[in-house]
Structure 1
């Protein structure tokens, strides 16, 4: 990914060492890896940092799809309450799990350098999605993945798959599925890249907005904390996910919307954004849109996302 113009930080406070910071985190192995990664980076910069492990409602409800029980906000609400009550100072999220609109008084203070944003096919018997026999059962609870899988292989049976990454792998290993689709980033972060049989290229399975990126949420009045987190930010990643999240926001997106958005920097430095929308009731039907523009600020990146969302709607997405 090419470097992009700097984000505007003219009003940022002067950096200083902060002590006794607490990171609120979910207690899954992947969430703890992410929080410990941020903890280590902050400690390298002289801060004292502890962790507050929490179980969210999204972790507890495993028998229903997220779209039926309140959406991805179920993974962050308890963490935000800890920030609001002062029990924690920051929360580390997989950005694809963060609602497009944060509650009043909260802000996304930092987006870190992105891992692989692509989806991965995991199977114990087959090396690729194409090798699956007709009628094979593939597990995912993502509506986005469902519509994209149906476009690639309309003959497959797509069955729900909830739980953290280890739980999903165990369900595969127990024989409930011929294959499952997971985010490549999570597998790589946990040292499980060997489980990946196929990585889907974006032209075949467009990633979710923010997939592979970590976001750090804080209370908006914490100016010094925001300055302390600034060195962890990766500007190209932040610009790209800002464009992606703007597509979803403009479409009214949540986990109940089968929507994909993925941005990369082109050779000329422009931000190139692709989006796709599908209808679960009409398997195989996909609406696609794309756009590109210079993106030297978060506002410019977001404007590109709004433009691409308008093109999606004009093409029939809703």
Structure 2
């Protein structure tokens, strides 16, 4: 049996999808999986994320492909999935969750607590921007876009002194970078952060059964 898997074309999304496929192959060795990369609104809109209505911007086109039977199921970051899916779809599986916390990456190894006054901190998330400003009101928070490795390179001290990212993304990509973990007690993560959601058609019992083995 061959399955077509829908995913965003981002580096992290493809890495997550490959991980899911590797796990599925362990329990479904006779199955084949092919990734179909799908561009979403969130991939083409270059505005700061917190200026956009984010509901579904990273998953709508991918889930439409599932619903229209262009792909058999889709792999998403759970935090990107709206609380209400189209009635034709279902979250069939949520594999083992990665670390849920955010991390702080700086050009000089500083932590959020001791980075210099007036430092420029980059983040794509309004939640993170607010929390950084609450903990360190004496720094400047600016929006930053790009894939994870691009954002890390920007934290060189030229345009940004530091950035805030999810630890799960760094782990899944296998990026070798020094970071300071941010405690979830003082820096609350996004709901669903670190988790993957696999979406399938609600009436596709065979695919759902296969996914639930993961």
- Aligning the two structures, in what range does the TM-score lie when normalised by the shorter sequence? over 0.9
Mapped partners of 1:158, 1:174: distance in 2: 14
Partner of 1:51: 35
Does the CA-based 8 Å contact 1:42-1:49 persist in structure 2? Answer: no
Mapped partners of 2:202, 2:51: distance in 1: 30
Partner of 1:115: 98
Partner of 2:71: 88
1:147 aligns with 2:147: no
* Residues 178-207 of structure 1: per-residue CA shift (max 9 Å, x gap): 000000011011112x42320011112011
Does the CA-based 8 Å contact 1:59-1:163 persist in structure 2? Answer: no
Q: Secondary structure at the match of 2:165?
A: strand
Q: How far off its partner does 1:174 sit?
A: 7.3
Q: How far off its partner does 1:72 sit?
A: 4.5
Partner of 2:60: 77
Structure 1: unaligned runs, 5 residues or longer: 1-18, 233-318
Mapped partners of 2:157, 2:83: distance in 1: 35
Does the CA-based 8 Å contact 1:58-1:72 persist in structure 2? Answer: no
TM-score between both structures, scaled by the size of structure 1: 0.64
Q: How many residues get paired? A: 212
TM-score between both structures, scaled by the size of structure 2: 0.93
Mapped partners of 1:85, 1:97: distance in 2: 20
Q: How far off its partner does 1:171 sit?
A: 2.4
* Residues 50-88 of structure 1: per-residue CA shift (max 9 Å, x gap): 1101221101112x2334333041110110121122110
Q: How far off its partner does 1:137 sit?
A: 0.6
Mapped partners of 1:95, 1:208: distance in 2: 10
Mapped partners of 2:158, 2:8: distance in 1: 27
Mapped partners of 2:172, 2:201: distance in 1: 27
Q: Secondary structure at the match of 1:177?
A: coil
Mapped partners of 2:50, 2:91: distance in 1: 23
Cα pair distance change 1:216/1:226, threshold 3 Å: same
Q: CA RMSD in A?
A: 1.5
Higher RCO (CA-CA < 8 Å; seq separation 6+): 2
Does the CA-based 8 Å contact 2:107-2:157 persist in structure 1? Answer: no
Q: Secondary structure at the match of 1:74?
A: coil
Structure 2: unaligned runs, 5 residues or longer: none
| Structure with larger Rg | 1
Specify which structure has the higher proportion of helix.
Answer: 1
Q: After superposition, where does 1:86-235 map in structure 2 within 5 Å?
A: 86-173=69-156, 175-192=158-175, 194-232=176-214
